[in-house]
Structure 1
Amino acid sequence: MAIAHLHRLSSQISRNPLLSHSFRATVTRSSATVSSSPTPSAKVADRIVKLFAIDPDGLKRDVVGLSGHTLLKALTNHGLIDPASHRLEEIDSCSAECEVHIAQEWLEKLPPPTYDEQYVLRRNSRARVLNKHSRLGCQVVLTPELQGMVVAVPEPKPWDIP
């Protein structure tokens, strides 16, 4: 019903030269968006990325995230990382409390860590040596290619435990 109304309005606009060009463009865009947009549930289903997380107790847990979101967001949504421990997803304010270990075959599918990410990981490790499997969950963006990725959530470091 709404689409038919928009089409009628669009045809009336195209016949009336007095209406502004921007108004015509807005109505045309609106009708195109309404008529061609898929259902919202189909969009979300296309963005789902299923992962496996090994918690600090060694249990394998299913984790579901959305493409475009960070690994940190998916892990906090499933209770594997305390959301209060990492409020911002910016590297400048990171304390490495979202450190995760990623299986080798999945590391190769991720972009390499930035200098800032490596610095934060080194700064917060005891030995100041970077574990090659360590990444910050706040810096890993989920994509459909990461479907099935295996991630280990390490035990909190003693200085992270309240």
Structure 2
Amino acid sequence: MIDLIFVEHGGERHRVSAQPGGSLMQAAIDNSIPGIDADCGGSCACGTCHVIVDSEWLAKVGSPSESEALMLEMTPENSERSRLACQITIEPEMSGMVVAIPEFQM
């Protein structure tokens, strides 16, 4: 199992465990993380699983695809560390990864 930490906009931290190979979005949904709505079910079509990856983990998650980048442009709190959780596949080297949940989703 891979340990992940989701940080709500107000600062509350949620430590969860997830299987490698699944998406970060699914880990959030499976653990009822507040602020991750995932309205499109993970098809990179809505932007409601927007997370901000802690800077030390950016290299591990990689860059967004072109379609993900276009979706992120529409999010109200887009930053250079923004990603859609549905587009991040959990890998063993991500254990301990910290992601913040913005105040607003699309």
- Structure number with bigger Rg: 1
| Identity across the alignment (%) | 27
Q: Which has the higher contact order (CA 8 A, sep 6+)?
A: 2
1:121 partner SS: helix
* TM-score of the two chains, using structure 1 as the length reference: 0.59
1:80/1:153 contact within 8 Å kept = no
Q: Extract unaligned runs of 5+ from structure 1.
A: 1-47
Shift of 1:52: 1.1
The one of 38, 42, 46 equivalent to 1:95 is 46
Q: Which has the higher strand share?
A: 2
Superposition CA RMSD, Å:
2.0
1:112 partner SS: coil
Shift of 1:59: 1.0
The one of 47, 64, 68 equivalent to 2:17 is 64
Question: Aligned residue for 1:133?
Answer: 81
| Count of residues in Structure 1 that have an aligned counterpart in Structure 2 | 106
Deviations 1:49-100 (A, max 9, x none): 1011111221111111110000000111121156764242212xx2101000
Question: Aligned residue for 2:30?
Answer: 77
2:41 partner SS: coil
1:79 partner SS: coil
User: In 1, distance between residues paired with 2:46 and 2:40?
Assistant: 10
User: In 2, distance between residues paired with 1:110 and 1:87?
Assistant: 21
Q: Match for 1:79: what amino acid?
A: S
2:4/2:96 contact within 8 Å kept = yes
* TM-score of the two chains, using structure 2 as the length reference: 0.87
Q: Match for 1:113: what amino acid?
A: P
The one of 59, 67, 73 equivalent to 1:108 is 59
Q: Which has the higher helix share?
A: 1
